[in-house]
Amino acid sequence: MSDRYKNEIEKILEGTPDLPEQPMVEDDPAESFKDEVVALFFDARNRKIGSISAFNISIASIVFFALFFVIKVNLFAVAGIACLLVSYLTFIWPTSLQRPRLYFDNLLSWFKGLGKKTDE
């Protein structure tokens, strides 16, 4: 923008007395990498399936992978991959693992309703 236009805009703004004050801009301090890792750790500790947290399942997957590399039994690799998948699902979608339980309970109550004898 040229200086001529800037000067004209400044004159117009000076001539209007009822303009609000310039807002104060507060910069939020950016979280450091350490703070983000700590928050992620506590978030992983809080998301659970029953009494087992996503963090504990991740530790189990690391143990299974270590056993696989030491003992060379494929079952440990499969168990490690399964634990890693469950940990991921627990951490990313904690409610997705609780919803099937609701559907299962509804299905059980429906089956129990079929078994009742009606006296008519």
- Residue range 99-110, pLDDT digits in tens: 555 556 666 776
Is 67:73 a contact under the CB 8 Å cutoff?
yes
| 48: DSSP letter | E
Query: Is the per-residue pLDDT at 68 higher than 80?
Result: yes
Mean pLDDT of 35-40: 78
User: Which tokens belong to 23?
Assistant: 């807002």
pLDDT band with cut points at 50, 70 and 90 for residue 79: very high
**Nearest residue to 55 (alpha-carbon basis) of 44, 70, 69, 66:** 44
Mean per-residue pLDDT for 88-98?
65
Taking the C-alpha atoms of residue 104 and residue 90, their distance in angstroms, rounded to an integer, is 19
**Which amino acid is it at 4?**
R
Domains of the chain, by residue range, sit at 52-95
pTM, to two decimals: 0.49
Cα-based angle 16, 22, 23 (whole degrees, multiple of 5): 145
Residue 50, both tokens:
């029953």
